[in-house]
A and B are shown apart, each in its own frame.
Chain A
Amino acid sequence: MLGSLPPAARKALAAALVLLDQGARLYPPSRGRRFARLDDRVAGAYVRALLARHDVAAEMIRRLKSVVTMCYYELPEVQREIGYDPAPYIAAVSRRRLESYGPQIRAAEAGSGDSGGSGDSGHSGHSGDSGTGQP
């Protein structure tokens, strides 16, 4: 996931991690320790103190947390642990789609051909709905 960030953002991320880690030394309750050495209670208080400033440091914490947790919850074993396993579900509903609407889908796709116009999609709910964007 980090590879998708632009080079400048990757550099900023590394710098932010160092700042977060070493900046903890200036937080009195940490008693000179870096962030990685803090216990959960003090580490949480340090993060909350930074967030309460509503400044660049707070924004940096938000972004760091976002990147780190996104990477963590992308791990398949972590996803399974919280009950998220989409591949079998996607396979099942994809089959259901073809079993239920196969002929209409094939007809619409064939109709799209070189003109791109699917014409009649075979949707049950499409007629009479103007979609004006109004309530």
Chain B
Amino acid sequence: MTVPSGLTRQDEVTGDLSLECGAVIVGSGAGGATVAAELAEAGVDVIVLEEGGYHPTESFTAATGRALRTLYRDGGGGMAIGHPSVLYAEGRCVGGSTVVNGGMSWRTPARVLRRWAEQEGLRAISEKDLDPYFAAIESRLSVGPQDPETIGRDSELFRRGAEAKGWAVVPNRRNQLHCAGTNNCSSGCPTGAKQSMLVTSVPRALALGARLLADCRVDRITRSGPTVTGVTGHFVRPGGARGPSLTIRARVVIVAGGAIQTPALLMRSGLRSASGQLGRNLSVHPNAVVTAFFDQDVTGWQGVHQAFQVREFLTEGLLLTATNLTPPMLAGILPSYGRELGELMADYNHIVTAGPLVSDTGTGRIRNVPGLGPLVFYQLTERDAARVQRGVELTAEALFAAGARRVLLPFDGAPEVRSLDELHRLLARPVPKRSLQLFSIHLMGTARMSEDPRRGVVGSFGEFHGVPGLFVTDASVFPGPIGINPMETVIALAMRNARQLIERRGRWAI
């Protein structure tokens, strides 16, 4: 394996390390890598710390187990505790979740930006303010629709069903350089076509002089009085054993660990927000999966997943799309057991999986528990449960319109459904909330951005209220759910915050 110059892995570190820099960045995903590249380009001495390992494109295969072990935190098995619980996954590797996400790249809806600006008094966050950043991102990360030959039959069937219903369907936009359609997004793109941070902003930052330490967990943010002075942490040996310690003195600390790890780090560093919002206000965009069986061969794993989005119901907080799941992932979430599950899986190549993403109104919170780390709690509201049910019903309708013979719904104990009549009869009454099977890959909002320190944790440009030199720039700063894929918003805010920091660099002497 060739390791880029400037990147250090745990196996290269034999003793405790003490380093100094202008800005230390915690996390190398959409937020962290973007800030690192911007600051390095401006000549700031940058160190990026990433808890996960460095796994280059040539190491990516279709093996789900390999991906879960190497690219995800805790094997992708996070669980937000509630009724029902919501399973979630976080990336943990150089490049962060951008290495394992679907690469969907959408600008923040203008109505969301307006709401954030009005509710939180945020500055420089209108559509017009962010347009230049979005344009730069889309050019740099090659954002656009799929080449037609890469679109899978599962996506085509779902599009056909939705269009037969007369619904608005749009081609999905990804950060991809002529994606081959390997359908391997969630296990790492094996061609390097997906323009994740691993192949874009991380190498850019390194080429511009930034240093990156992989396999390095940050324990605490250090302070002198109210002002941050750096971080302490340690390298993580294979199997999770504790390696050499690390101390970094920095004039600026930027936290970009995602909506679970960022508040967890801030809290275990003894930081408090006067707003009381640190670790609260978690949104998860709950997803549910409808499984449909077709007579014809679908072979949904041949071709890119989520080639289209149904946006007909966006104003109701619902986004529908088809997502092919690998056999381990599908078997893991199907609400079936034993022989019945085996019989369903035997039809794997006749299956289309699709479902709603719900812009949620409920919120959750993160609590640090000594010895266990951050625990996530989330309560689905009755209103959101009704939205999930409606999204599932609409998805199933589209799949029947596309020719599905039967569908399985993501509710414990739900019978197989063979017609629209059966579907509507079954869903005429609310499904018990506890029986919903939900998961999430969009975690947002636990360090809310607000100009009012009584309402939010950070200000308009990610500066932590009351702690000079500390910044947050990841999805945790979102004041609420955005209803669409969040990656481009995270990158745009990171780029904007970095440039504002550069304009005021004299204050921090970086």
A interface, CB within 8 angstroms of B: 1, 3-9, 40, 43-44, 47-48, 51-52, 54, 58-59, 62-63, 65-67, 69-74, 78-79, 82-84, 86-87, 89-90, 93-94, 96-97, 100-101, 104-105, 108-109, 112-119, 121-126, 129-135
Residues of chain B from 401 to 454 with CB closer than 8 A to chain A in the complex = 412-413, 432, 434-435, 437
**CA–CA, A118 and B177, complex, Å:** 9
Q: Does A1 contact B348, Cβ atoms closer than 8 Å?
A: no
Q: Is the interface of A mostly helix, strand, loop or mixed?
A: helix
- Does chain A have a CB within 8 A of B467? no
| Chain B residues in 8 Å Cβ range of A63 | 79
| Chain A residues in 8 Å Cβ range of B85 | 59
Q: Does B107 contact A132, Cβ atoms closer than 8 Å?
A: yes
B64: contacting residue among A58, A70, A93, A133, CB under 8 A: A70
Top 9 A-B pairs, shortest CB-CB distance: A116-B204, A4-B75, A126-B144, A121-B142, A114-B207, A69-B331, A86-B62, A97-B180, A4-B69
- Does chain A have a CB within 8 A of B120? no
Closest CB-CB distance, B483 to chain A, in whole Å? 8
**CA–CA, A63 and B81, complex, Å:** 13
**CA–CA, A104 and B193, complex, Å:** 12
Q: Does B190 contact A90, Cβ atoms closer than 8 Å?
A: yes
Query: What are 27 contact pairs spanning A and B, CB under 8 A?
Result: A4-B74, A4-B76, A5-B75, A40-B338, A54-B435, A66-B332, A69-B331, A69-B332, A70-B329, A73-B327, A73-B345, A74-B328, A78-B327, A90-B184, A94-B182, A116-B37, A116-B201, A118-B140, A118-B177, A122-B178, A123-B144, A124-B147, A126-B142, A131-B107, A133-B484, A135-B168, A135-B311
B interface, CB within 8 angstroms of A: 37, 61-65, 68-69, 72, 74-77, 79, 83, 85, 105-110, 127, 134, 138-147, 149-150, 168, 170-171, 173, 177-184, 190-191, 193, 195, 200-201, 203-204, 207-208, 240, 299, 301-302, 311-312, 314, 326-333, 337-341, 345-346, 348-349, 372, 412-413, 432, 434-435, 437, 484, 488
Closest CB-CB distance, A81 to chain B, in whole Å? 8
Closest CB-CB distance, B286 to chain A, in whole Å? 16
**CA–CA, A83 and B37, complex, Å:** 43
Closest CB-CB distance, B337 to chain A, in whole Å? 5
Q: What residue in chain B is nearest A58 (Cβ atoms)?
A: B412
Q: What residue in chain A is nearest B489 (Cβ atoms)?
A: A133
Q: Does A43 contact B61, Cβ atoms closer than 8 Å?
A: no
Closest CB-CB distance, A85 to chain B, in whole Å? 9
Q: What residue in chain A is nearest B182 (Cβ atoms)?
A: A90
| Chain A residues in 8 Å Cβ range of B145 | 123, 125-126, 129
Closest CB-CB distance, B75 to chain A, in whole Å? 3
Closest CB-CB distance, A79 to chain B, in whole Å? 6
Q: Does B63 contact A134, Cβ atoms closer than 8 Å?
A: no
| Chain B residues in 8 Å Cβ range of A116 | 37, 140, 200-201, 203-204, 207
Q: What residue in chain B is nearest A125 (Cβ atoms)?
A: B145
Residue among A44, A105, A121, A122 with the highest chain B CB neighbour number at 10 A: A121
| Chain B residues in 8 Å Cβ range of A125 | 144-147, 171
| Chain B residues in 8 Å Cβ range of A79 | 327
**CA–CA, A63 and B439, complex, Å:** 13
Q: Does A96 contact B149, Cβ atoms closer than 8 Å?
A: yes
Q: Does A132 contact B110, Cβ atoms closer than 8 Å?
A: yes
| Chain B residues in 8 Å Cβ range of A4 | 65, 68-69, 72, 74-77
Task: Answer whether A100 and B328 are a contact pair too, CB < 8 Å, given A93-B150, A118-B139.
Answer: no
Closest CB-CB distance, A108 to chain B, in whole Å? 6
| Chain A residues in 8 Å Cβ range of B331 | 69-70, 72-73
Q: Does A118 contact B173, Cβ atoms closer than 8 Å?
A: no
Q: Does A94 contact B201, Cβ atoms closer than 8 Å?
A: no
Q: Does B143 contact A9, Cβ atoms closer than 8 Å?
A: no
Task: Answer whether A113 and B337 are a contact pair too, CB < 8 Å, given A70-B331, A123-B178.
Answer: no
Q: What residue in chain A is nearest B207 (Cβ atoms)?
A: A114
Task: Answer whether A135 and B337 are a contact pair too, CB < 8 Å, given A73-B331, A82-B349.
Answer: no
- Contacts A54-B432, A73-B328, A93-B182 supplied; 4 other A-B pairs, CB < 8 Å: A70-B329, A90-B62, A94-B182, A133-B106
| Chain B residues in 8 Å Cβ range of A54 | 83, 412, 432, 434-435
**CA–CA, A1 and B207, complex, Å:** 35
Closest CB-CB distance, B310 to chain A, in whole Å? 10
| Chain A residues in 8 Å Cβ range of B435 | 54
Q: Does A104 contact B311, Cβ atoms closer than 8 Å?
A: no
Q: Does B69 contact A9, Cβ atoms closer than 8 Å?
A: no
Q: Does A93 contact B181, Cβ atoms closer than 8 Å?
A: yes
Q: Does B178 contact A104, Cβ atoms closer than 8 Å?
A: yes
Q: What residue in chain B is nearest A119 (Cβ atoms)?
A: B139
**CA–CA, A7 and B302, complex, Å:** 36
Q: What residue in chain B is nearest A1 (Cβ atoms)?
A: B65
Q: Does B327 contact A131, Cβ atoms closer than 8 Å?
A: no
| Chain A residues in 8 Å Cβ range of B208 | 114
